Amino acid sequence: MQYQKLHKTIPTQADPTEPYPFHFHSYFAGDLFFEDPESKYPSRPHYTSQVCRQPTKREVFKIRLFLRIERDKLPNQEHIMRYMRHKFRVNCKPNTLRNAYFGIFSFFRFLESANRCTDLDQLNRSDLEAYVEHEQDNGKQSGTIKTRLWTLYGFFHFLRPDKLVPSDLLERKINIKVPSPLPKSIDPDDEEKLLAVIDKVRDRAMIMLLLRTGMRIGELLNTKMDDIDLQEQVIRIYESDKTGIGRVVYFSNDAAEALYLYLQERDFRKESLFYSSRDSLSYTAAWARFKHYIDKAGLSHKGYTPHCLRHTYATRLLNAGMRLECLQVLLGHTNIEQTRRYANLSDKRREEEYFNTMAIIEGETSDEHD
């Protein structure tokens, strides 16, 4: 059966019976806010001159990172600088760059504090083993340690052609096993409690979109009005912050209704869908709003986070029969094994087969007693 998308009708003074399709232009009848009456989106201000170009976020991040490296005065600073410039040249994401430097930083700081040799050509496997044990003793998660360790191996691999590190350092690598926990989705009853206590139009739109699109919270907060097709109920993610891969997600009628109500009161001059007084809404602010409603619903002890909304989305779709390959594309996973974790959580066919088999076993046991 074809899914019937939501269409709103907004009567106007000229013709109260005339229906308007559910898109952005229907919110403001007439051309008060539009240069083109047929356009779905408000026009942007045009600037006739530009005194100077503002640096991009990536450029600001690069400046701050290299200032940090200079200030830290780590051993082998020149080679660390070269490696980080290389990471920038190959267009690594800010989080990747940040993790790369923090891994190198923590390793050399450990060597200094332990009075170990920090010369690159004197490093050996025992230094790495001692570093791993030190991080474990300090309570670092295995995933964090593994990330930092592989960051170091990347750094050593970069220096290898120049013969700056011993060749055997990369031959027998330390492999840390990382647990693979099941994704945590929100229980249907808890989901109802959460939605029942949301009293702000903007917050409802934000939470409903996370719940019905499976977007990462950073992806939603970076969404611009131009990225949304309200009539088709589509959001285009041109480049994911995490993977750098673009994709298209869809939102259902209940999310469209929540979004429609929010758009009627938002500032049409803002470019970002969700915004603060200065710029796009921050992750911290969005997290605080989610926690506020979790506390209000009496669910604080459940440990729910905004990312659980993404897990809930995936679990519901799989339970309803969506193919794993289709869900992988919607979630933006580069590896289907990431998506398969949800199948382990919500395989209804496996559950049904188990209980059908147990019914046979229990029936046979009962017959034996008779």
Active site residues: 216, 242, 307, 310, 333, 342
Cβ 304 vs Cβ 294: under 8 Å: yes
Residue type, 132: V
CA distances from 2 to 5, 121, 322 (A): 9, 66, 15
User: What radius of gyration do the chain's Cα atoms show?
Assistant: 27
Nearest to 212 by CA among 241, 183, 233, 187: 233
**241 contact partners, CB below 8 Å, separation of at least 6:** 93, 95, 216, 218, 219, 222
Cβ 217 vs Cβ 286: under 8 Å: yes
Which tokens in the block code for residue 168? Answer: 């055997």
Residue 275 φ/ψ, nearest 5 degrees: -140, 165
Q: Cα–Cα distance between 286 and 288 in angstroms, integer? A: 5
Residue 234 φ/ψ, nearest 5 degrees: -130, 140
